[in-house]
Structure 1
Amino acid sequence: MNNPIPAEATVQFMNLKKEAAVEPDPVSTKPVTKETQIIAIYGKGGIGKSFTLANLSYMMAQQGKKVLLIGCDPKSDTTSLLFGGKACPTIIETSSKKKLAGESVEIGDVCFKRDGVFAMELGGPEVGRGCGGRGIIHGFETLEKLGFHDWGFDYVLLDFLGDVVCGGFGLPIARDMCQKVIVVASNDLQSLYVANNVCSAVEYFRKLGGNVGVAGMVINKDDGTGEAAAFAERAGIPILSAIPANEDIRRKSANYEIIGKPGTEWASLFDMLGENVAKAPPVRPKPLSQDELLGLFSGDQVGRSVVLEPASLFDMVGKVELHKDSLEVIYDKA
C-alpha cells in the first residue's frame, strides 16, 4: 500500500508551483544620480568568481575607486573571502527577520565594509522552499527601497551564478540593469559552455533592443592549454586577465587570504585586471554553436569520435520487432 503524501508537503508543492508561475515585478529603470558602472559577472559554479571578485574589488578600492560588491548567489559565498571566511547576513534573511519583528531594514543591517570595499549578499530561500531567481528579484526590490539608485559608487560588481538560466539570474541582462557583463571561465568544456550561454543571452536581448554587452573574459586557473583564449577570440571578446593555475594562489584563497593587495606577489595581476575592467567597452559577442564549442577541444577530450547508434525495439523489450499494419482509415479518391 502506498503511503499518502502528507498534506503539508502537498500545500508546499502547490505554493512553489504558484511562485514559479508568477512573473517578476517590473524593475525600476530610473537613472542613477552618479555615473556608476554596474557590471555583472557570470561563470560556472566553482570556477572562481568569488575569488576573482574579492581580489578585484579590493584592488579597485586601493586604486581609489568606490566599489560595492553584491553577491547574487543563493549560496551567499561571494563575500566570504573578503571578510576572512565570516558569513555576511543576507538581505533576504535579514528582511524576513525584520518583517516579523515589525522593523524596517537599514543599510547597516546588510552592508559591510573592509578597507574601502562595501559588500553585501542578497541570499536565497532555504533548500527546497523557494525559487532562487525570485529571491534575487526580491533582493533587488529591497535594494531599491534602501536607495540603490542614489548611492554614489564608481563601480557596482554583481556576482551571478552562470549555470542557472531562469529569469531572476538573467535580470541584469534582460532589464538593462548593468552596462556590461564579464565572464569567468577556464580551459574546460563546462565552464566555456556556461560562458557561451551567457554570450547567447546577451546577444538574444540585444536583438530585442537591449544595450548590455560583454566587456571580456577572465581566465581563471589558466594551465596554458589555450581553449579559453581560443573561445574568446572566436566569440569576439577580449581577455581581461589570465590568472595562472598556481599552488600558492590556491592555498592562500583556501585560507581566505586576499592576494590582490598592493605590494604583494600577485598585486600586478589584479592591478591590471582592475584597469582593464574599468576601461573595457561592452561589445556584442558572437556565440558559438555546440559543434564550434566542441571544436575548441581535441577529439579524445570530448569524445567527438562517438557515433550515434539508433536503438531497436529488441534492445528495449528483448523481442523481435514485428511489423503492424496501420489502423488509419484511407479513403479512395473520388
Structure 2
Amino acid sequence: MTLDLPNGHDDYDNRLRAEAGEPWGEIEPREPVKKTQIIAIYGKGGIGKSFTLANLSHKMAEDGKRVLLIGCDPKSDTTSLLFGGKACPTIIETSTRKKLAGEEVVIGDVCFKRGGVFAMELGGPEVGRGCGGRGIIHGFELLEKLGFHDWDFDYVLLDFLGDVVCGGFGLPIARDMAQKVIVVGSNDLQSLYVANNVCSAVEYFRKLGGNVGVAGLVINKDDGSGEAQAFAAAAGIPVLASIPQDDDLRKKSASYQIVGTDESPWGALFSELSRNVADAPPVRPTPLDQDGLLGLFSAEQTGGDIVLEPATDSDMRGKNAAPKKSLEIFYDEA
C-alpha cells in the first residue's frame, strides 16, 4: 500500500530542515525568575559556622539586604550569638507542642528578628530518640506549609552540620534546594576532611545531573599556617575570607557580641565576606583523595610517613596461636 501525501508535504519538510540548519542567535538576557540566593553553609562541628553566619547575616542586613538565617543543626545554636545567647524555640518542638494542643504553627511562633536579620531554628530530636536527618526533612516540610517559597528575601542562609553523612543533612545538595554551598574550615586536618567530604557530595550529585556548586571556603581561626589555603587551591575553590585566630574575636564570640557591623573594627572583614558570598559563582570542586588531603600537612602532624604492616593469623589469635596439622594429603613419589 502506497501512502499519497499532499503536494505541499515536500516543501514543508524542506522548510523544517532549512530552519533547523540556521545558526542560533544571541540569547536575550533577562532578569532571573527567582532573585533569592539560597546558600547552604557546611563545616565541622565547633569550627565556627554559627559565629561566621551570625556576623555575616548581620552585616548583610546592615547593608540593606533582606536576610533569613535558618539553623539546621540539631544543637540549635546557630541563632544563639544573634540573640545574645537566648535559645530560639525550634520549629520541630513548637510543631509537636502545637499539634498536641490541636493548634497550627504560625510565623511568629518560630521566626524572630534582630538587627534586620530574620532567624529560626529547625531543631531535631533528643539524643537517642530519633534521626537528626529525618528531623531536617520534617522541618523543611513545615517550612513549605508556612509559605517558604513565597517569602521575599535576598538571601536565605542555611547552617548545616558537615561531619554527619546522613542524607537529611545533604538535602540542599541532593535536591537542588540551594544554588551554592560554602564550607567553613580551618588549618586542621579534621575540618578540612569535612570540607573535602562536602566537596565530594557536591561532585557526586553533579554527576547525577545536579546543579549545586561550591562558592568557596571561609577560613576561620586562621593561624597563617596555610593548609586551608592549600586545600582550596587543590580543590579548585576560592577562599572567600580568612578570619584570623584572634583573642578579641574569641572573647566577643564567647560573650555573644556581634562583630559583623560597621561599629566594630571587624566590620570591614565581614563586609568583604558579604560581597564575596554574594558574587562568588558556584563551581564544580575537585575533591582530594585521602593521600592528597594528608599531603597538605607535614608527616609529623599526620603520621603520613607510616607504612602499613599487614597482620597475620598468628597476630590475631594471640595466646591461642598454635600450629595446626595440615589436612593436605601428600603422595609418595612412585
Could you say which TM-score interval applies, normalised by the shorter chain?
0.7 to 0.9
| 2:194 counterpart residue number | 194
1:243-288 Cα shifts (integer Å, max 9, x gaps): 0000000000000000111131100000000000000000000000
Residue 319 of structure 1, CA deviation: 4.4
Residue 323 of structure 1, CA deviation: 4.9
SS of the residue aligned with 1:95? helix
| 1:89 counterpart residue number | 89
Take 2:130 and 2:323, find their aligned partners in 1: how far apart are those partners?
Answer: 49
SS of the residue aligned with 1:301? helix
Take 1:197 and 1:320, find their aligned partners in 2: how far apart are those partners?
Answer: 41
| 2:107 counterpart residue number | 107
User: CA separation of 1:326/1:271 partners in 2, compared to 1, >3 Å: closer, same or farther?
Assistant: farther
| 2:68 counterpart residue number | 68
| 2:206 counterpart residue number | 206
User: CA separation of 1:326/1:206 partners in 2, compared to 1, >3 Å: closer, same or farther?
Assistant: farther
Task: Kindly provide the amino acid, as one letter, of the partner of residue 225 in structure 1.
Answer: S
Task: Kindly provide the amino acid, as one letter, of the partner of residue 323 in structure 2.
Answer: L
SS of the residue aligned with 2:168? coil
| 1:23 counterpart residue number | none
User: CA separation of 1:311/1:275 partners in 2, compared to 1, >3 Å: closer, same or farther?
Assistant: same
Deviates more, 1:273-282 or 1:308-317: 308-317
8 A Cα contact 1:67 1:153, kept in partner: yes
Residue 306 of structure 1, CA deviation: 1.6
Map 1:1-334 to 2 at 5 A.
Answer: 34-315=34-315, 316-323=317-324, 325=326
Residue 322 of structure 1, CA deviation: 2.5
Question: Which ranges of structure 1 fall in alignment gaps of 5 or more residues?
Answer: 1-31, 329-334
| 1:7 counterpart residue number | none
| 2:13 counterpart residue number | none
Residue 324 of structure 1, CA deviation: 5.2
How many residues are treated as equivalent by the alignment? 297
Residue 298 of structure 1, CA deviation: 0.3
Point out the structure with max Rg over C-alpha.
2
SS of the residue aligned with 1:169? helix
Task: Kindly provide the amino acid, as one letter, of the partner of residue 271 in structure 1.
Answer: S
8 A Cα contact 1:313 1:319, kept in partner: no
Residue 318 of structure 1, CA deviation: 1.8
Take 1:324 and 1:57, find their aligned partners in 2: how far apart are those partners?
Answer: 72
1:289-312 Cα shifts (integer Å, max 9, x gaps): 100000000000000122222223
Deviates more, 1:310-319 or 1:86-95: 310-319
1:12-47 Cα shifts (integer Å, max 9, x gaps): xxxxxxxxxxxxxxxxxxxx9741000000000000
| 2:28 counterpart residue number | none
CA RMSD of aligned residues (A): 1.5
Residue 321 of structure 1, CA deviation: 4.7
Take 2:327 and 2:82, find their aligned partners in 1: how far apart are those partners?
Answer: 68
8 A Cα contact 1:111 1:119, kept in partner: yes
Task: Kindly provide the amino acid, as one letter, of the partner of residue 129 in structure 2.
Answer: R
Task: Kindly provide the amino acid, as one letter, of the partner of residue 137 in structure 1.
Answer: I
Task: Kindly provide the amino acid, as one letter, of the partner of residue 317 in structure 1.
Answer: G
User: CA separation of 1:162/1:324 partners in 2, compared to 1, >3 Å: closer, same or farther?
Assistant: farther
1:220-264 Cα shifts (integer Å, max 9, x gaps): 000000000000000000000000000000000000000111131
1:76-131 Cα shifts (integer Å, max 9, x gaps): 00000000000000000000000000000000000000010000000001111000
TM-score by structure 1 length?
0.87
SS of the residue aligned with 2:167? coil
User: CA separation of 1:320/1:278 partners in 2, compared to 1, >3 Å: closer, same or farther?
Assistant: same
Question: Which ranges of structure 2 fall in alignment gaps of 5 or more residues?
Answer: 1-31, 330-334
Take 1:214 and 1:87, find their aligned partners in 2: how far apart are those partners?
Answer: 30
Task: Kindly provide the amino acid, as one letter, of the partner of residue 59 in structure 1.
Answer: K
Task: Kindly provide the amino acid, as one letter, of the partner of residue 85 in structure 2.
Answer: G
Residue 325 of structure 1, CA deviation: 4.0
TM-score by structure 2 length?
0.87
Task: Kindly provide the amino acid, as one letter, of the partner of residue 138 in structure 1.
Answer: H
Take 2:243 and 2:157, find their aligned partners in 1: how far apart are those partners?
Answer: 19
8 A Cα contact 1:124 1:135, kept in partner: yes
Residue 133 of structure 1, CA deviation: 0.2
| 1:3 counterpart residue number | none
Take 2:306 and 2:324, find their aligned partners in 1: how far apart are those partners?
Answer: 30
SS of the residue aligned with 1:318? helix
